[in-house]
Each structure stands twice: as structure tokens, then as C-alpha cells.
Structure 1
């Protein structure tokens, strides 16, 4: 029997067609939104939310296939359970049925990119969906897979860009370190050359002080072991130069000896000149503004090594000269040939030609020690007597 409808009537078929078209239109809009999603989690969240609008189905969970296996995404979706996670993993990347408590129908829709499974969309319903309802769910799965593919591609591109940026930053940092290293090496080479030249040119302690001043720009003071000024380079030399008190100065030296690097003391940065564990002197940068940096400290440290070698050399020369003088005086007393005596005297700076006298000086009741011998030598020099001085048989002997 034919049925006639009024202008306001709706046939069931036409009503279904409009609803079906509305759902398809919604999926198209959803697809556009998902394609612009910032990441994979946002794509899957939007897909899960849309499931309930397409029919009686409910979204149970969604999964991404990552390098370390299947990962629930988002992890806190309310219907997901560990049991459901295990069921989806057992499907091995394929779609298939799953069991959901209190639901007659459960299914995992595999999301594919070309031939690879990139995830799953797990759905359930109180009864088997109709073919039309299942069709809409398949369309949703296809659009979700396409959006996931784009999101993954964008993430891969972002990761690549980040890697390139990081590589560029690492290269820039490496170049900066190389530039710094080259600069440091150049500075160290300059320090080595200037201080080595000062030692090689026999400029002595004063040459080391002047070289260090040119390298750092700071005034330089070199003192002996007891704080007496040995050499100064640069402006601002005190006049008179202050003599430190013995006790505090000794404590300062002992404290500095326990350090491996130059130390700051008041307005100076001080390094010790040590040879075989013995402190022979100090070298200091005069730095009241505390502006000396690592380059200046390196130069100071190197200068202290050069100074130690120079002072050790001077000490060895003094010891050799003292021994030569003593041996020469002994030989003159016991007898030696003229040629040898003249040559050895000239070597220690004494003219043996002409008349000479022998003087023996003794301190009554006390044998001659180094202090007494030195006092005798100073007395002879004060009388303008050029002499060879030695210690023999508890006496100071002058020739």
C-alpha cells in the first residue's frame, strides 16, 4: 500500500541518509582537525572522543606502535585496562576481537601506514554494530591512521631539525673550544719563548722579572727566601722597599708551599721558586685590583719555574766558586805550581801576581763557622783588601 507524506513528513530512508551524510561530514571535519594536531597523542585523543558520536560504540583505548613495542596513548584513558593491553599485544599488529567486560562486542581496529601497523583503536558496543555503523568506524580508523602518519612525519622532521640545530650548536661549541685552545696555546708559547729567552740571554733574575711584566702588564717583584727584594719590573716600586717581619713571612712561605698554584696574599699574587723541595725565592704580580686571570697566573707559575732554575744555577756557581777558592787557598799553603795557581785564581776573579800575604784569623775559644768566616771576608772588603778567603783548621784564612 502506498503511503502519501505531507510536506512536513520524513521517510525513514531519507532520515537515515541525512544522518549518515551528517556523520560522514563530521568525519571529514574531524579528519581536517586531526591532520593539524600537534602530535600523535592529540590525534588519538580526538579519535577516541569522536567514537561516541558515530553510534552506540564506546572507545576503550588507543595504542601507538613505537620502537619499544605497543604503548597505550593516551595512557590515562578511563576505560583502558592492563588486560586489554595484553589482548591487543597478542593480536600482533592485526585487527581482531577483544573481550570487554559487560560488552557483547569488542574489536581492535588496526591503524596502518602503507603496509605497517602504526597503532590500534579499540572499541566496544552493547551489541554487534550494523554494517553502516561499522563502515563509519572503519572510515574513522583510516582517517586516524592518515593523521597519525602525518603527525609522525612532522615529529620526525622536528627531531631532524632539532638534531641539526644540536649538531650546529655542538659544532659552534667545538669551534669555540678550539679557538680558545689555540689562543691558550699561543699564549703559553709566548710565555715559554719570552721566559726561555730571558734565561738563555743571561739576563738573570732581572730579565725574568722584566719578561713577566711584559707578558702580564702587572708590576713584578722577585724576592729572596727572606723577603729581600731581588728584582723589580714595572712602575710603582716602593722606596724604600719594605722588609717583612721574619715570623709572619715564614708563615706566608710555608702556607704557599702547601699549594700547587700561585696564591693571593693581600695585593699580590705570589708563586714560590722551588728547587728539589727547597724554597729559593718568590715571584709576585702586584695586583691590588684582583684582575689577574688564568693567563696571568699561568705566566706567573712558569716564571716561578724559570726563577727556580736560575737561582739554583746561581747557587751552584757560588758553591763551585767557594770550593775553588778553598781548594786554591789550601794548595797555596801546601804548595802548587805557578801556572796552575795563576789560572785558578783568575777563574775566581783574583789576580795572584805580585806580593801576597797570608792572614789567619781565629775567634778565641770558638772554632770558625760560616758566619765568622763571612764576617772576616766583609771586614777585609771594607778595608779594600782583595783576598782569597777559606776556612782551615778552625780559622779563617785570607791570602
Structure 2
């Protein structure tokens, strides 16, 4: 009679004893069943996952007995879950029967009277799963032994699989941790290298800036740091410096014809930008754009640290250019203050020291020159042209702007005609006046030179030839005449002595006043006067006869000749006072 082993009796018997008894019951014919269990169990140790092993065991139940696996439960953290549907709530009677006796094998009785048995898959320490087998009748002892052997081997295989899987996960985690560590080390190495390069950039550009080498030195340092060509422009797009030499023959400023819009957009985002093959950064001081520094990068290889070097160079250049601009503005203020004081009147001692501080020698004689042009011309353009001309002429000018005039203080007597031509060429017209005052041997005499220059300007603006230049020294006796202060007296004097002749010239388009002036200039010499007027001697005699008839004056009388000669000189200076010549206000 065969002995049936139920419940936990399996735990007290060795596997070999159970197999032997199974074989002894039915003889050698039973070996195939045991062999099938062993073959099935061997498949469980071929690297499958715990879930796959449990599925294999559930499928093997039917091959080892006349029963089948009705339900399979996986036990996780001491709680069962439907292995075939992990999300299904355990709310059936079968679920309850399994859960209540989870630690032991036991029969399950349900209302349908079918035979069910819960086989626990467990090791010494834990329960891994539960197989609920079902059949029409109770299995034989041999079948139960085979099923329990299957259960025991399945539990061992699942634990082994979980251990292997844990080791695998641990290995993968270790590999990932190692890879992450290596990447972290690599990032740290790159960060350290980047920080070292940043420190090097900071050190080099700070040192170069402090050395006072200016834009050229900073551009050269930026080229060494980036290996890219560097250009520095001023606010107007003029190329200030290029590194490395030589400077290109032609240069297109950043933005080209659309420069204003490009710079406006860059100011708005406050970052470096690209213009074709160039990466550039604005050089700014507060709200003022001082210029542009650019890396020429046709192959687009500039990296993040190159742009950092560009941005730091822009900051260093901003300090450099702001400092130079501040110095220039301070010097300009000092020069303007000095000129204002010199023109208003100051003592010689302080003027000498202040001039020396600005690099200007006021111990040599100076003159004041006034330049005035038609109102539509830009005063800055006139001032730049006048200063450039005077500097090129070696006159060491001090210059100042007034609302309607440019004032130059120079060490020597300028050539006014040359200055007038230079300004006319630059501004596009010759509608201007240049007046040169008297010489001032000391600074305290400059107010007098300034007053003489203004007097000369007033005389020049009402002269017959209107536009041009005039020296105070060339005014002669007309120095005592000022058309601004003495206009009524001048008109009366000219009307008294030349009124009839001026009226005749206006009516007949003649040149009797001019003829009289040249005749008197030549001391009454007929031949010299005719040559100066480019007329025949007989024509000169005829005109002189008409002058005597019209004026009623004796040209041989000494007083008449003196007054007529003076009147013609005044006429040359101021023209016909009855004719309006216009001009800019003083």
C-alpha cells in the first residue's frame, strides 16, 4: 500500500529517500517521472528570471500529474499577488484560502467540491510562491512527491535567479556608478582646465591693461589667447588696431551699412554676437558705446572660452578707452577754461604755468584768429579742419568754440587764404570769413588781440569782396573805423567825398571810384595807373575828366587828394554803404 506524504512532511525527508520510495512503488517505470522532474528543474537554472521559472513550473504540473495549476501566486514581502495578473485585487474565496495559510501546504475546499491543493514554494528562509493545483481526484503519492520536488526545486531556482539578478543589477549599478564617476572626473578635469584657462585669460588681459600698451597691446594679447585675428573699432567703425600684423588693405566695419541697427540689437541683448565670419562684442561704458572688438573666425572654431576672452577683453578695453576719453575730456575742459581766461584777461604768471601743464608754450607771441562760416555748416567740422590745418602748419593751436565762431590761438601769423581754402574744400563752400587779430607778446595782451580780430571780422563782413580773410595789421588807417560802431559816420564820410561818383557808377555800371583809387594809389602817375587798371592811357584821362566834372573836386588839391584817397580805401573795405551785403551775425 503506497504511503502518501502530505503537508510539511516533505520537509523532514531527504529528496533522495522520497525519490527512492517513488521508484520502489511502481518499479523502474517510475524513473521516467523523476527524470522528467530533474530535466525540468535543470531548465530552471539556465539563467531565466524568477517569473519565467515560476511560469515553467506552472506549465510542468500537468506533465507530472493529472492535475493542473489553477492559480499561481507570487509572494513579495510576505504578501501574495496573482502572478498572472499582478494588478488583480485578491477578492476571491480561493485568494482568501491561500492567504490564510500562506506558510504551509494545505488542501483547499471550495463549494464546487473540486480537489485543490496549495503547494508552497519555499526555502529555509522565505516563501517565494504558491501553486494551487486542481484535479478531478486526489493525485497519487508519486504524483504528490513529484509536484513537491518540483516546488522545492522551483523555489531554489527562483531564489538563485533572484540572487543572480540582484548580482547582475548590482554589477550594472556598479558599472553605471563607475561610468558616472569617470564622467564626473572627466567633467571635473574639463572644469578645472576651463577654470585654469579663465584664470590665465584674466591674468594676461589684466596685466596687459595695467601695462599701458593701449588697444594694440590688448588686441595682441587677445590674439595670443585665441589664435584668431582681432580687430578693434571705435564707435564710428574706424579700425583702431589689428592683430596680428599686417593690417588688411580694406576693412569692412561690423554691421557695414546697417551698423546702427546691428549695434542697437546687440545693445539690447547685452551679449556677444556674430556678423558673418566675426564674433564681436560691444565696448561699452555705462550707456555709451565706445567701440567694437571682434574675433575673425571664418572656420567657426571659437569655443566658449574664446568668447569669454572676447568678453573680458571688451571689459578691459572699456576701461582703457573710458580712461583715455576721460583724460581727453578733462584736457578739453582745461583747454577751454584756459582759452576763456586768456580771452577775458588773466595774469601772465598763471597763464604760463597753466599752458605748460597742457603742453603749450605761452611765452612766445600769439595771435587770435576768428573763423566764421555760413550758419548751415557744422561747427564741429569747421573746428576740426581749422585745428588740423593749424597743427600741420606748426602753429601749435589752442582752439575754442563759440555759438557763432571758432577761435584759434596760434604761435605765429597764419596764412589766412590757405586756411580759407582748406575749410572751403572740407565744408563744400567758401561762404566764410577769417579774421586775424594783432600780435600779443604776452598772455595778458590776448584780450586786445581778440578785440582786434572781432573788429577785423566786422570790417571784412561788410567789405565789397564779402567772403574771405583779412589781417588786422593790413587794415591801415581803417583800424580807426569800425562799421559796427561808427556806421553812420562812415556813411556820411563816403557820401560826402564819393557820393556822386558812387551814384554814377551804380547808374551807368561804371568804375569811376575804382579808377580814382588806383590813380591815387599810383601817386598820380598816368602810366602806372593805366597798367594797374588794364586800360589805355587816353581812357584813364577821359575817366579822370569825368571824375572832376561829376565830383566838382580839384584832384591837385592836397586836402582833396588826401580825403579822396582815404575815402577810396574805406570804400575798398566796406563797399557802398547804401548796398546791403548780408552775412552771419557776430
Equivalent residue for 1:50? 60
Contact 2:272 2:279 in 1 (8 A): yes
Task: Report the counterpart of residue 190 of structure 1 in structure 2.
Answer: 200
When structure 1 is superposed on structure 2, of 154-163 and 262-271 the one drifting more is 262-271
The 1:75–1:84 alpha-carbon spacing in structure 2 relative to 1, beyond 3 Å, is farther
Change (3 A) 1:143 1:328: same
Task: Work out the CA distance in 2 between the residues paired with 1:235 and 1:100.
Answer: 100
Residues 98, 106 of structure 1: 8 Å contact kept: yes
> Structure 1 residue 14: deviation in Å?
7.1
SS at match of 1:52: helix
Matched, 1:94 2:103: yes
Contact 1:103 1:126 (C-alpha < 8 Å) held by counterparts: no
Partner SS for 1:202: coil
Cα displacement string for residues 227-273 of structure 1 (whole angstroms, at most 9, x for unaligned residues): 21100011563214457897422233234334443322222222221
Q: Given the alignment of the two structures, is residue 133 of structure 1 paired with residue 153 of structure 2, yes or no?
A: no
User: 2: distance between equivalents of 1:151 and 1:244?
Assistant: 69
- 2:125 corresponds to which of 90, 110, 115: 115
1:205-220 superposed matches below 5 A: 205-220=215-230
Q: Which residue of 1 aligns with 2:242?
A: 232
Q: Kindly indicate whether the alpha-carbon contact (under 8 Å) linking 1:367 and 1:394 is maintained by their aligned counterparts in 2.
A: no
Q: SS state of the match for residue 237, structure 2?
A: coil
Instruction: Tell me whether 310-319 or 374-383 shows the greater mean CA deviation.
Output: 374-383
**Equivalence for 1:104:** 114
Q: Tell me how far 1:91 sits from its aligned partner.
A: 3.1
Residues 304-345 of structure 1, C-alpha deviations (whole Å, 9 max, x = no match): 222222222222111111111111122223344555433432
Within 5 A, what are the aligned runs for 1:246-325? 247-325=257-335
Displacement, 1:69? 5.0
Gaps of 5+ in 1: 1-12
Alpha-carbon distance in 2 for matches of 1:232, 1:88: 91
> Residues 241 and 265 of structure 1: is their aligned pair in 2 closer, same or farther, counting only changes over 3 Å?
closer
> Contact (CA 8 Å) 1:273, 1:304: kept in 2 or not?
yes
Q: Matches of 2:48 and 2:142 in 1, distance apart? A: 31
Whose RCO is larger (CA < 8 A, sep 6+)? 1
- CA distance in structure 2 between the partners assigned to 1:294 and 1:214 by the alignment: 16
Q: Partners of 1:50 and 1:29 in 2: how far apart?
A: 11
TM-score relative to the length of structure 1: 0.85
Q: Give the CA RMSD over aligned residues.
A: 3.1
The reply on whether 1:398 has 2:408 as its aligned counterpart is yes
Question: Does the aligned pair in 1 maintain the 2:233–2:253 contact within 8 Å?
Answer: no
Structure 1 counterpart of 2:394: 384
Structure 2: tracts of 5 or more residues without a match: 1-22, 410-586
- Do the aligned partners of residues 84 and 277 (structure 1) sit closer, same or farther apart at CA in structure 2, a change above 3 Å counting? farther
Q: Aligned residue for 2:344?
A: 334
**TM-score between the two structures when normalised by the length of structure 2:** 0.59
Q: Is contact 1:41-1:74 (8 Å) kept? A: no
Shift of 1:274: 2.0
SS in 1 for 2:174: helix
State the SS of the aligned residue for 2:367: coil
Quick check: 2:54–2:154 contact (8 Å CA) kept in 1?
yes
Contact 2:90 2:96 in 1 (8 A): no
1:348 counterpart residue number:
358
| Residues 92 and 55 of structure 1: CA distance in aligned 2, closer, same or farther (over 3 Å) | closer
For the residues of structure 2 that align with 1:75 and 1:317, how far apart are their CA atoms? 85
Contact 1:387 1:398 in 2 (8 A): yes
> What CA distance in whole angstroms lies between the structure 1 residues aligned with 2:99 and 2:284?
76
Q: CA deviation at 1:301?
A: 2.0
Structure 1 position 179, deviation (Å) = 0.8
In 2, Cα distance between equivalents of 1:207 and 1:280: 17
Worse-superposed segment, 287-296 or 201-210: 287-296
Instruction: Specify the alignment match of 2:550 in structure 1.
Output: none
Tell me, in whole angstroms, the C-alpha distance in 2 between the residues paired with 1:61 and 1:380.
Answer: 112
After TM superposition, give the deviation of residue 353 of structure 1 in Å.
2.6
Partner of 1:8: none
Q: Does the C-alpha gap of structure 1 residues 250 and 89 become closer, same or farther in structure 2, counting only changes over 3 Å? A: farther
Taking a change above 3 Å as real, the CA distance of residues 305 and 88 of structure 1, as seen in their structure-2 partners, is farther
Aligned length: 384
